[in-house]
Amino acid sequence: GEDRLEALRAGDLVGAFGEDFRELRITRPLTIPGGRMRLVHRITEVDPEGGRYGIGSIVAEADIHPDDWFLTCHFSDDQVMPGTLMYECCLHTLRVFLLRMGWIADADGAAWQPVVDVKSRLRCRGQVLASTKKVTYEIHLRELGYQPEPYAIADALMYADRKSIVEIRDMSVRLTGTDQKKLDEMWLHRSPGREATPNSYDKNSVLAFSSGKPSEAFGAPYGIFDEGERHIARLPRPPYQFLDRISAVGGEPFV
C-alpha cells in the first residue's frame, strides 16, 4: 500500500517490510526517492519466484494527474511523460523488489548505479498523457548476482490505463558500496550482541559439519561424534559443498 511505500521512503524498513528488518544495523538506509520523484504509489504484487524467468517479479502502480510536473514541464504543445522518466519509474519498482529481498545499505556510502557494459533497450509504443488515469509497471527479473556488488538485470513493461506503452529489455542496476559478504554479515548479525542460535549456522559451521568436528558445527552435545566409533552423516566437502549457511531448522535434537 501507499503507507508502506511512504515508510520505505522515510527509511522505516519495519514499517515497509515487517519485523524481519527490525534489528538491522542500518541508521539511514538507501531506499527510493520521494518528493517530485515519487513515481511509484502502490505495490500490487510481489513474487520472489514469479515472472517470466521464475526468479522474481513485481507489479506497481501510480496515479496520473493533468497537472503533474513531468507533464507540464514538457514541451508546451506535447505534454507527455518523457521516455527517460518512464525508465526511472520501472527502475524504482525494481529497487523496491531488491530492497524487500534484503539488499540494504547505508545511504552515506551506497548508490544505485547501472551495470557496466549491459546495454538496455527501451521501446515506446504509446504515451502517458494528461488524460491518463493510471500507469502500471511490471518487472520480470532475468538475472541476480554479485560482481562482487549485488546486481540485477530485468525486463519491464509499462501500461497506461491497461494499454501497453513501453517495453524495456535488460534494465540493469547494481548497489555500490556493499557486496555479498557485507550483506551476509548484516543479516547474520542483525543487532549488537546478537549470537548465533542453535537453529542458525554460518559458513564455518557448515564447513565443520563436512570436514571438521561435528561439535564445532552443532555444539557440545555432538562431541560424541568427534572421535571414536560413533559417526554422523556428513555433507560433501569442498569443492562439492554447495551450501553457505542454514538460516533456520525446526524440531528438537536427539528426539
Looking at residue 196, its pLDDT comes to 44
Whether residue 140 sits in one domain with residue 63: yes
Q: What is the pLDDT of residue 65?
A: 96
Residues 158 and 254 in one domain: no
The pLDDT of 111-127, averaged and rounded, is: 96
Q: Which of 26-30, 70-74, 102-106, 107-111 has the lowest mean pLDDT?
A: 70-74
DSSP per position, 192-208: TT----TT-B-HHHHHH
CB 244 within 8 A of CB 206: yes
In a domain, residue 117? The reply is: yes
Considering 142, 161, 185, which residue would you say is the last residue of a domain?
185
DSSP designation for 255: -
**Cα separation, 174 vs 97, whole angstroms:** 13
Domain for residue 211, yes or no? Answer: yes
**99 is a domain residue:** yes
Q: What is the 3-state secondary structure (H, E, C) of 137-181?
A: EEEEEEEEEECCCEEEEEEEEEEECCEEEEEEEEEEEEEECCCHH
Positions marked catalytic? 74
Do residues 166 and 251 both lie within one domain? Answer: no
d(CA 13, CA 77) in angstroms, rounded, equals 42
Of 159, 185, 211, the residue at which a domain comes to its end is 185
Asked if pLDDT for residue 189 goes beyond 90, the answer is no
Q: What residues does 29 pair with on adjacent strands?
A: 106
CATH of the domain at 22: 3.10.129.10
Whether residue 150 is found in the same domain as residue 40: yes
CA distances from 164 to 41, 72, 94, 187 (A): 19, 23, 18, 38
Residue 54 has pLDDT above 90, yes or no: yes
- Whole-angstrom distance, CA of residue 174 vs CA of residue 156: 17
Confidence of residue 26 (pLDDT cuts 50, 70, 90): confident
Distances in whole angstroms, Cα of residue 235 to Cα of each of 36, 63, 202, 210, 232:
53, 52, 14, 5, 10
**Domain boundaries, position 154:** 2-185
Answer yes or no: are the C-beta atoms of 104 and 112 closer than 8 Å.
no
85 and 51 within one domain: yes
Instruction: Spell 82-93 as b/e; 16+ CB within 10 A means b.
Output: eeeebbbbbbbb
- Overall number of domains in the chain: 2
Q: Is residue 190 part of a domain?
A: no
Asked whether residue 229 is assigned to any structural domain, the reply reads yes
Residues 225 and 172 grouped into a single domain: no
CA atoms within 13 A on the CB side of 147: 14
pLDDT for position 64: 98
CB of 135 closer than 8 Å to CB of 53: no
| 28 and 152 belong to one structural domain | yes
Tell me the pLDDT band of 192, cut-offs 50, 70 and 90.
Answer: very low
Distances (CA, A) of 96 to 4, 31, 45, 232: 11, 8, 11, 43
Residue 191 domain-assigned (yes or no): no
From 145, 166, 185, give the residue that closes a domain.
Answer: 185
Is the pTM higher than 0.85? The answer reads: no
Q: What is the DSSP code (8-state) at residue 19?
A: G
Q: How many CB atoms lie within 10 A of CB 159?
A: 19
